[in-house]
Amino acid sequence: MEKRVFGFSRSLEQTTSPVHPETLAHGLFPGGQLAELEARALALEPFIGHTPLHRLVSLSKPGVEVYAKLEWCQLSGSVKARAAFAMIRRAIRHNLFYVEPGAEPRRILDATSGNTGLALAAIGAQLGIPVTLCLPANASNKRKEMLRAFGAQVVLTSPLEGTDGAQEKAREMAVQHPERYVYLDQYNNPANCLAHEEGTALEILRVLEPTHFIAGLGTTGTFNGTARGLRAALPNVTLIALQPDAPMHGLEGWKHLETAVVPGIHDPSLAHQVREVGSRAALTMVRRLAKDEGLLLSPSAGANAAAAAQLAEELALEGQTARIVTIFADDASKYDEMFRELWPAEQPAEQATVPAV
């Protein structure tokens, strides 16, 4: 068995899993590029999802427990690995990458604020598929550096237009060069939601039966898919969606839906409530959970935690018994700017300010 750094792949010769029937239907198996691509994808499956459900002791209250899925514990380090992998698998099964046998694969194309792009780039590198990503120029520098490290082509778009502008650019490129790109379109691709309906929700249900699920809205795939999967098994589960409290906010990956283009996959009928979270509250919670739980979280994970903590307090005051589940999309490793704000470097002793007496 071949080993690579991080152990995220195995040799095709050692892959014994069957090729998916939809791939067989294209007549390019056994042998051929499509069968090889499917085999590579099968080898990645163990590294997508399967993340731990962690009890947050410091946020739990008497009778009310708070849990979070630690989604950075998978390939590419974020919840977006699930959607990225599902969209790529869907494209493979529809034979979108190889126009004709022997040709180079068409490039993966999508718009992203960062994490989906990282997932697509990492998975694309494993599968041997080139990746082009459109993202706002104000995305964190660490994310842009990581995308280029994975070999992705990065097209920067207006920071003022956010992911909406990135989507417009990606659509334009897909229309101009259909022979070059497979536009996955995470904001309108049903595989985005299905990855969570058939993955995240079922993983939660294997551990416990939540009374409440609360999570933020970005592409809306994580909330919609997980909510739909939980509701199918638990009709009485309470589903709470979150969004930033202002159009201009610091929660990368989230959308203020009243002022943004609403993703086509969003189902507003799923949420029993929609609550707002401020960027400052999110960062305050990031600092708190670093100290109290030993978890270094991203701003969006901090926002989910802040809202879950508020919900836990409300339910405890009402005397209810509850199990709240939320999503920690990623950790703090890609947010250098946040680190500098929350934990500025210590000054040398001779330069330190002496507090007033």
Q: What is the pLDDT of residue 99?
A: 77
Tokens found for residue 230? 């939980």
Q: Which residues pair with 78 in a beta bridge?
A: 330
Report the C-alpha gap between 190 and 193 in whole angstroms: 6
For the cut 70, the answer to whether the pLDDT of residue 14 exceeds it is no
249-306 residue pLDDT tens: 777 777 788 778 899 999 999 999 999 999 999 999 999 999 999 999 999 999 999 9
For the cut 50, the answer to whether the pLDDT of residue 353 exceeds it is no
Tell me which amino acid residue 285 is: M
Sheet containing 322-328: give its strands across.
Answer: 53-55, 64-70, 322-328, 212-216, 238-244, 273-277
Report the C-alpha gap between 56 and 67 in whole angstroms: 6
Report the C-alpha gap between 226 and 59 in whole angstroms: 22
Across 7-16, 80-89, 187-196, 322-331, least confident range: 7-16
Looking at CATH, the fold of the domain delimited by 47-77+189-342 is given as Rossmann fold (3.40.50)
Q: What is the pLDDT of residue 28?
A: 46
Average pLDDT for 203-229? 97
What 3-state DSSP class applies to 216? strand
Are 37 and 28 in contact by the 8 Å Cβ rule? The answer is: no
Tokens found for residue 285? 């919670």
Report the C-alpha gap between 120 and 189 in whole angstroms: 14
Tell me whether strands 322-328 and 153-157 are parallel, antiparallel or unpaired: unpaired
Query: Backbone phi, then psi, for 233, in 5-degree steps?
Result: -90, -30
Average pLDDT for 13-26? 45
What 3-state DSSP class applies to 330? strand
Across 194-208, 232-246, 329-343, least confident range: 329-343
Place of tokens 């990623």: 330
290-327 residue pLDDT tens: 999 999 999 999 999 999 999 999 999 999 999 999 99
Number of H helices, E strands in the chain: 12, 10
Tokens found for residue 40? 């590579």
Q: What is the pLDDT of residue 7?
A: 28
Q: What is the pLDDT of residue 348?
A: 54
Across 30-44, 138-152, 165-179, least confident range: 30-44
Report the C-alpha gap between 199 and 183 in whole angstroms: 23
Domain boundaries, the chain: 47-77+189-342
Q: What is the pLDDT of residue 357?
A: 33
For the cut 60, the answer to whether the pLDDT of residue 17 exceeds it is no
Tell me whether strands 153-157 and 181-183 are parallel, antiparallel or unpaired: unpaired
Closest of 40, 90, 68 to residue 198, by C-alpha: 90
Question: What's the distance, CA 101 to chain centroid?
Answer: 33
Report the C-alpha gap between 228 and 234 in whole angstroms: 10
End-to-end CA distance of the chain: 66
62-101 residue pLDDT tens: 999 999 999 999 999 999 999 999 999 999 999 899 877 7
Is the pLDDT higher at 349 or at 102? 102
**DSSP strands (E only) in the chain:** 53-55, 64-70, 107-111, 131-136, 153-157, 181-183, 212-216, 238-244, 273-277, 322-328
Tell me whether strands 107-111 and 131-136 are parallel, antiparallel or unpaired: parallel
For the cut 80, the answer to whether the pLDDT of residue 191 exceeds it is yes
Q: What is the pLDDT of residue 341?
A: 87
* 161 — pLDDT class (breaks 50, 70, 90): confident
What 3-state DSSP class applies to 251? coil
The secondary element (H helix, E strand) that includes residue 270 is none
Characterize 318-330 residue by residue with b for buried, 16 or more Cβ atoms within 10 angstroms of its Cβ, and e for exposed.
Answer: eeeebbbbbbbbb
Closest of 87, 102, 5 to residue 41, by C-alpha: 87
For the cut 70, the answer to whether the pLDDT of residue 123 exceeds it is yes
For the cut 80, the answer to whether the pLDDT of residue 61 exceeds it is yes
Return mean pLDDT, the chain: 87
